[in-house]
Amino acid sequence: MTPLDWINLYTARRFEMMDAEKFNRLHAEQNAIGDRLEDLCESVQDAVNEVIKECRQRGKRCAREHEELRIETYAYSLDGKIAWGIDGCTGVNTKRGIVE
């Protein structure tokens, strides 16, 4: 899957070219080969784990800006798991994955 394929998936959903069910299925398939949380440096892992924990507690999507790291982390529920991601200082998603 190329970076353009990722963008096209989000664009298709945003402009309602596919329904939520299809988007979630394709998104989950792509994330199955996503980034591993364990491969991130410790400070970034801590930032991601923070939003994952909050997402589990609140049961809904959460996001946080980490100015010292120059990133934004987010997490949301996806098919009984937690999807997470990191947006860089440019606002572009740089890492994403799914945890149990």
pLDDT of residue 4 exceeding 70, the answer is no
Q: What is the pLDDT of residues 13-67, one digit of tens each?
A: 778 888 888 887 777 776 555 678 888 899 999 999 999 999 999 999 999 999 9
51's CB contacts (< 8 A; 6+ apart) are 62, 63, 64, 73, 74, 75, 84
- Residue 47: CB atoms within 10 A of its CB come to 21
Q: At what angle do helices 20-31 and 3-14 cross, to 10 degrees?
A: 160
pLDDT of residue 82 exceeding 70, the answer is yes
Residue type for position 74: Y
Predicted pLDDT at 22: 85
Predicted pLDDT at 15: 81
Nearest to 63 by CA among 75, 53, 71: 75
- Label residue 94 by pLDDT band (50, 70, 90): confident
